[in-house]
Amino acid sequence: MNEATSAGVQRRSLDDAPVRVVSARANLRTRLRNLWSRRELLTSLVSSDIRIKYKNSALGIFWSMLSPALTLGIYDLVFSVITKNGYPNFALYLFSGLVVWNMFQNAVNMATGVIVDRAGLVKKVSFPREILALANVGAAVVYFAIQLCVLCLFMLALGRSPAWSFLWILPISFVTLYLLTASVAIVMSAVTVYLRDMRHLMEVLLQLWFWLSPVVYSYQNTIALRLHDHGVTWVYFLNPVTLIIITFQRIFYVKTTVLSTVAPHPPLQILPTWTMSTFFYANASLLALVVVVFLGSLMIFGRLEGNFESEL
Protein backbone atom coordinates (compact mmCIF):
# COMPACT_ATOMS: atom_id res chain seq x y z
CA MET A 1 0.00 0.00 0.00
CA ASN A 2 1.53 3.34 -1.07
CA GLU A 3 1.66 6.43 1.13
CA ALA A 4 -1.28 8.15 -0.60
CA THR A 5 -3.54 5.12 -0.10
CA SER A 6 -2.46 4.80 3.54
CA ALA A 7 -3.19 8.48 4.17
CA GLY A 8 -6.62 8.13 2.58
CA VAL A 9 -7.51 5.13 4.75
CA GLN A 10 -6.37 6.98 7.86
CA ARG A 11 -8.40 10.05 6.92
CA ARG A 12 -11.53 7.96 6.38
CA SER A 13 -11.06 6.19 9.73
CA LEU A 14 -10.81 9.58 11.48
CA ASP A 15 -13.90 10.80 9.69
CA ASP A 16 -15.80 7.69 10.79
CA ALA A 17 -14.71 8.03 14.44
CA PRO A 18 -17.44 9.14 16.84
CA VAL A 19 -17.23 12.81 17.79
CA ARG A 20 -18.22 13.82 21.32
CA VAL A 21 -20.44 16.86 21.18
CA VAL A 22 -21.72 18.24 24.47
CA SER A 23 -24.63 20.64 24.14
CA ALA A 24 -27.46 21.90 26.29
CA ARG A 25 -30.92 20.49 25.67
CA ALA A 26 -32.90 23.23 27.38
CA ASN A 27 -32.30 26.68 28.79
CA LEU A 28 -32.33 27.35 32.54
CA ARG A 29 -35.90 28.58 32.71
CA THR A 30 -37.16 25.51 30.88
CA ARG A 31 -35.16 23.22 33.15
CA LEU A 32 -36.67 24.82 36.25
CA ARG A 33 -40.16 24.56 34.79
CA ASN A 34 -39.59 20.90 33.89
CA LEU A 35 -38.36 20.13 37.40
CA TRP A 36 -41.43 21.75 38.93
CA SER A 37 -43.80 19.91 36.59
CA ARG A 38 -42.17 16.57 37.54
CA ARG A 39 -42.22 17.14 41.32
CA GLU A 40 -44.49 14.13 41.78
CA LEU A 41 -41.87 11.96 40.06
CA LEU A 42 -39.25 13.37 42.42
CA THR A 43 -41.39 12.50 45.44
CA SER A 44 -41.94 9.01 44.07
CA LEU A 45 -38.21 8.44 43.53
CA VAL A 46 -37.40 9.62 47.07
CA SER A 47 -39.97 7.22 48.48
CA SER A 48 -38.64 4.42 46.26
CA ASP A 49 -35.03 4.99 47.43
CA ILE A 50 -36.09 4.73 51.08
CA ARG A 51 -38.20 1.62 50.50
CA ILE A 52 -35.40 -0.12 48.60
CA LYS A 53 -32.87 0.62 51.34
CA TYR A 54 -35.03 -1.03 54.01
CA LYS A 55 -36.62 -3.74 51.88
CA ASN A 56 -37.13 -7.00 53.84
CA SER A 57 -35.87 -5.28 57.01
CA ALA A 58 -37.76 -6.13 60.19
CA LEU A 59 -37.24 -2.70 61.76
CA GLY A 60 -37.42 -0.75 58.50
CA ILE A 61 -36.75 2.96 58.72
CA PHE A 62 -36.40 2.61 62.50
CA TRP A 63 -32.77 1.69 61.76
CA SER A 64 -32.24 5.30 60.66
CA MET A 65 -33.11 6.37 64.21
CA LEU A 66 -31.32 3.55 66.01
CA SER A 67 -28.01 4.06 64.19
CA PRO A 68 -27.54 7.76 65.03
CA ALA A 69 -28.77 7.13 68.59
CA LEU A 70 -26.09 4.46 69.04
CA THR A 71 -23.48 6.74 67.46
CA LEU A 72 -24.46 9.55 69.81
CA GLY A 73 -24.19 7.21 72.81
CA ILE A 74 -20.69 6.14 71.75
CA TYR A 75 -19.57 9.75 71.32
CA ASP A 76 -20.91 10.61 74.75
CA LEU A 77 -19.05 7.65 76.28
CA VAL A 78 -15.78 8.44 74.49
CA PHE A 79 -15.62 12.19 75.05
CA SER A 80 -17.28 12.41 78.46
CA VAL A 81 -15.96 9.28 80.19
CA ILE A 82 -12.88 7.91 78.41
CA THR A 83 -10.94 10.82 76.91
CA LYS A 84 -12.51 13.65 78.96
CA ASN A 85 -11.63 16.54 76.68
CA GLY A 86 -13.04 19.02 79.17
CA TYR A 87 -15.99 20.29 77.13
CA PRO A 88 -19.31 19.65 78.92
CA ASN A 89 -21.75 17.57 76.86
CA PHE A 90 -19.30 17.53 73.97
CA ALA A 91 -21.32 14.77 72.27
CA LEU A 92 -24.13 17.30 71.83
CA TYR A 93 -21.74 19.76 70.20
CA LEU A 94 -20.34 17.02 67.98
CA PHE A 95 -23.69 15.63 66.88
CA SER A 96 -25.04 19.13 66.14
CA GLY A 97 -22.40 19.37 63.42
CA LEU A 98 -22.65 15.75 62.32
CA VAL A 99 -26.33 16.00 61.36
CA VAL A 100 -25.32 18.67 58.85
CA TRP A 101 -22.30 16.80 57.54
CA ASN A 102 -24.09 13.44 57.30
CA MET A 103 -26.78 14.91 55.08
CA PHE A 104 -24.23 16.56 52.80
CA GLN A 105 -21.90 13.56 52.57
CA ASN A 106 -24.59 10.88 52.17
CA ALA A 107 -26.43 12.79 49.45
CA VAL A 108 -23.29 13.55 47.44
CA ASN A 109 -21.99 9.99 47.75
CA MET A 110 -25.29 8.51 46.58
CA ALA A 111 -25.81 11.00 43.77
CA THR A 112 -22.29 10.90 42.28
CA GLY A 113 -22.89 7.66 40.38
CA VAL A 114 -26.67 7.71 40.11
CA ILE A 115 -26.84 8.50 36.36
CA VAL A 116 -24.46 5.63 35.61
CA ASP A 117 -26.28 3.25 37.95
CA ARG A 118 -29.63 4.02 36.32
CA ALA A 119 -28.36 4.03 32.76
CA GLY A 120 -31.24 1.85 31.56
CA LEU A 121 -33.81 4.34 32.82
CA VAL A 122 -31.90 7.32 31.43
CA LYS A 123 -31.69 5.83 27.93
CA LYS A 124 -35.30 4.65 27.72
CA VAL A 125 -37.43 7.26 29.48
CA SER A 126 -37.63 10.99 28.84
CA PHE A 127 -37.56 13.07 32.03
CA PRO A 128 -35.32 15.72 33.64
CA ARG A 129 -32.29 13.58 34.48
CA GLU A 130 -31.16 15.83 37.34
CA ILE A 131 -34.20 14.54 39.24
CA LEU A 132 -32.21 11.36 39.92
CA ALA A 133 -29.60 13.32 41.86
CA LEU A 134 -32.27 15.42 43.57
CA ALA A 135 -34.03 12.23 44.66
CA ASN A 136 -30.87 11.15 46.48
CA VAL A 137 -30.75 14.55 48.16
CA GLY A 138 -34.41 14.17 49.12
CA ALA A 139 -33.75 10.79 50.71
CA ALA A 140 -30.84 12.32 52.63
CA VAL A 141 -33.22 15.02 53.91
CA VAL A 142 -35.48 12.31 55.36
CA TYR A 143 -32.55 10.73 57.20
CA PHE A 144 -31.47 14.22 58.30
CA ALA A 145 -34.91 14.81 59.84
CA ILE A 146 -34.69 11.50 61.71
CA GLN A 147 -31.24 12.34 63.07
CA LEU A 148 -32.51 15.76 64.11
CA CYS A 149 -35.27 14.03 66.10
CA VAL A 150 -32.62 11.90 67.84
CA LEU A 151 -30.67 15.06 68.64
CA CYS A 152 -33.76 16.69 70.15
CA LEU A 153 -34.50 13.59 72.25
CA PHE A 154 -30.89 13.62 73.49
CA MET A 155 -31.24 17.28 74.46
CA LEU A 156 -34.46 16.46 76.28
CA ALA A 157 -32.69 13.68 78.20
CA LEU A 158 -29.95 16.14 79.20
CA GLY A 159 -32.48 18.76 80.22
CA ARG A 160 -31.11 21.15 77.59
CA SER A 161 -33.08 23.44 75.29
CA PRO A 162 -32.01 25.11 72.03
CA ALA A 163 -31.25 28.80 71.67
CA TRP A 164 -34.88 29.83 71.10
CA SER A 165 -33.98 33.36 70.00
CA PHE A 166 -31.76 31.95 67.22
CA LEU A 167 -34.16 29.20 66.14
CA TRP A 168 -35.76 31.25 63.36
CA ILE A 169 -32.40 31.28 61.54
CA LEU A 170 -32.45 27.47 61.29
CA PRO A 171 -34.75 27.31 58.20
CA ILE A 172 -32.44 29.73 56.35
CA SER A 173 -29.44 27.59 57.23
CA PHE A 174 -31.24 24.38 56.21
CA VAL A 175 -32.34 25.74 52.83
CA THR A 176 -28.73 26.79 52.24
CA LEU A 177 -27.57 23.28 53.15
CA TYR A 178 -30.13 21.71 50.82
CA LEU A 179 -29.24 23.90 47.83
CA LEU A 180 -25.50 23.47 48.40
CA THR A 181 -25.89 19.68 48.64
CA ALA A 182 -28.12 19.60 45.56
CA SER A 183 -25.64 21.71 43.59
CA VAL A 184 -22.70 19.40 44.28
CA ALA A 185 -24.85 16.29 43.74
CA ILE A 186 -26.18 17.48 40.37
CA VAL A 187 -22.76 18.42 38.98
CA MET A 188 -21.04 15.26 40.22
CA SER A 189 -23.77 12.99 38.84
CA ALA A 190 -23.17 14.46 35.37
CA VAL A 191 -19.37 14.54 35.53
CA THR A 192 -19.22 10.88 36.58
CA VAL A 193 -20.89 9.86 33.30
CA TYR A 194 -17.73 11.00 31.50
CA LEU A 195 -15.17 10.30 34.24
CA ARG A 196 -16.10 7.08 36.04
CA ASP A 197 -13.23 7.37 38.54
CA MET A 198 -14.86 10.50 39.93
CA ARG A 199 -17.00 8.33 42.20
CA HIS A 200 -13.92 7.03 44.02
CA LEU A 201 -12.18 10.39 43.95
CA MET A 202 -15.20 12.04 45.53
CA GLU A 203 -15.08 9.66 48.48
CA VAL A 204 -11.49 10.77 49.14
CA LEU A 205 -12.33 14.45 48.68
CA LEU A 206 -15.26 14.19 51.09
CA GLN A 207 -12.99 12.72 53.76
CA LEU A 208 -10.64 15.68 53.35
CA TRP A 209 -13.60 18.08 53.31
CA PHE A 210 -14.86 16.60 56.58
CA TRP A 211 -11.61 17.37 58.41
CA LEU A 212 -11.64 20.91 57.01
CA SER A 213 -15.02 21.43 58.68
CA PRO A 214 -15.45 22.16 62.43
CA VAL A 215 -17.26 18.98 63.41
CA VAL A 216 -14.95 16.97 65.69
CA TYR A 217 -12.93 19.92 66.91
CA SER A 218 -13.74 23.36 68.27
CA TYR A 219 -13.85 25.95 65.52
CA GLN A 220 -12.94 28.84 67.79
CA ASN A 221 -9.90 27.32 69.51
CA THR A 222 -8.08 25.86 66.52
CA ILE A 223 -7.88 26.95 62.91
CA ALA A 224 -10.00 30.08 63.19
CA LEU A 225 -7.88 31.41 66.05
CA ARG A 226 -4.66 30.91 64.09
CA LEU A 227 -6.11 32.50 60.98
CA HIS A 228 -7.39 35.40 63.09
CA ASP A 229 -3.84 36.03 64.31
CA HIS A 230 -2.83 36.50 60.66
CA GLY A 231 -5.91 38.58 59.81
CA VAL A 232 -7.30 36.06 57.29
CA THR A 233 -10.20 34.44 59.18
CA TRP A 234 -12.30 34.78 56.02
CA VAL A 235 -10.23 32.01 54.39
CA TYR A 236 -11.83 29.44 56.67
CA PHE A 237 -15.28 30.42 55.44
CA LEU A 238 -14.39 29.61 51.85
CA ASN A 239 -15.65 26.21 52.97
CA PRO A 240 -19.42 26.89 52.74
CA VAL A 241 -20.29 24.02 55.07
CA THR A 242 -18.44 25.74 57.94
CA LEU A 243 -21.01 28.47 58.51
CA ILE A 244 -23.92 26.01 58.35
CA ILE A 245 -22.30 23.71 60.91
CA ILE A 246 -21.49 26.58 63.25
CA THR A 247 -25.08 27.83 63.00
CA PHE A 248 -26.49 24.44 63.96
CA GLN A 249 -24.00 24.15 66.83
CA ARG A 250 -24.91 27.63 68.07
CA ILE A 251 -28.61 26.78 68.04
CA PHE A 252 -28.44 23.30 69.60
CA TYR A 253 -25.33 23.47 71.78
CA VAL A 254 -26.21 27.07 72.68
CA LYS A 255 -23.14 27.95 74.76
CA THR A 256 -20.27 29.84 73.17
CA THR A 257 -18.03 29.76 76.26
CA VAL A 258 -17.80 26.83 78.70
CA LEU A 259 -15.90 25.84 81.81
CA SER A 260 -13.65 22.79 81.64
CA THR A 261 -14.97 19.68 83.38
CA VAL A 262 -11.47 18.20 83.82
CA ALA A 263 -9.49 20.72 85.84
CA PRO A 264 -9.57 24.38 86.87
CA HIS A 265 -9.10 26.25 83.64
CA PRO A 266 -10.00 29.65 82.20
CA PRO A 267 -13.31 29.69 80.30
CA LEU A 268 -13.01 27.90 76.96
CA GLN A 269 -14.50 29.61 73.94
CA ILE A 270 -15.98 26.87 71.77
CA LEU A 271 -18.07 28.91 69.30
CA PRO A 272 -17.85 32.45 67.91
CA THR A 273 -19.63 35.03 70.08
CA TRP A 274 -21.50 36.55 67.16
CA THR A 275 -24.75 38.40 67.68
CA MET A 276 -28.01 37.06 66.31
CA SER A 277 -27.98 39.65 63.52
CA THR A 278 -24.46 38.56 62.50
CA PHE A 279 -25.60 34.95 62.19
CA PHE A 280 -28.62 36.08 60.17
CA TYR A 281 -26.71 38.27 57.71
CA ALA A 282 -23.98 35.64 57.30
CA ASN A 283 -26.51 32.90 56.56
CA ALA A 284 -28.62 35.13 54.29
CA SER A 285 -25.52 36.11 52.30
CA LEU A 286 -24.46 32.49 51.95
CA LEU A 287 -27.97 31.52 50.87
CA ALA A 288 -27.94 34.16 48.11
CA LEU A 289 -24.58 32.86 46.91
CA VAL A 290 -25.71 29.23 47.00
CA VAL A 291 -28.85 30.04 44.97
CA VAL A 292 -26.56 31.31 42.21
CA VAL A 293 -24.41 28.18 42.56
CA PHE A 294 -27.51 25.96 42.29
CA LEU A 295 -28.66 27.67 39.10
CA GLY A 296 -25.13 27.32 37.77
CA SER A 297 -25.15 23.59 38.57
CA LEU A 298 -28.32 23.17 36.48
CA MET A 299 -26.64 24.94 33.58
CA ILE A 300 -23.55 22.73 33.88
CA PHE A 301 -25.75 19.63 33.99
CA GLY A 302 -27.56 20.84 30.87
CA ARG A 303 -24.28 21.23 29.02
CA LEU A 304 -23.05 17.78 30.01
CA GLU A 305 -26.38 16.01 29.46
CA GLY A 306 -26.15 16.15 25.67
CA ASN A 307 -24.16 12.92 25.26
CA PHE A 308 -25.45 10.84 28.16
CA GLU A 309 -26.99 8.15 25.94
CA SER A 310 -23.81 7.59 23.91
CA GLU A 311 -21.57 7.63 26.99
CA LEU A 312 -23.77 5.19 28.89
pLDDT tens-digit readout, 262-287: 666 677 778 888 899 999 999 999 99
Query: Does residue 3 sit within a domain?
Result: no
Domain extent, residue 168, equals 26-311
Indicate the SS3 state at residue 123.
helix
**What is the DSSP secondary structure assignment for residue 267, as one 8-state letter?**
P
Sign for the pseudo-dihedral over CA of 7, 11, 12, 14: positive
* pLDDT score for 59: 60
Q: Residue 182 above 80 pLDDT? A: yes
Q: What is the mean pLDDT of residues 85-105?
A: 85
Long-range contact set of residues 217-225: C-beta below 8 Å, sequence gap at least 24: 218/87, 218/268, 218/270, 218/271, 219/245, 219/246, 219/249, 219/270, 219/271, 219/272, 220/256, 220/269, 220/270, 220/271, 220/272, 221/268, 221/269, 221/270, 224/272
Tell whether 132 is covered by a domain.
yes
pLDDT at 141: 93
- The more confidently predicted of residues 80 and 254 is 254
- Our count of domains for the chain comes to 1
> Which residues are CB-neighbours of 219 under 8 A, at least 6 positions away?
242, 245, 246, 249, 270, 271, 272
What's the rounded mean pLDDT across residues 136-159? Answer: 90
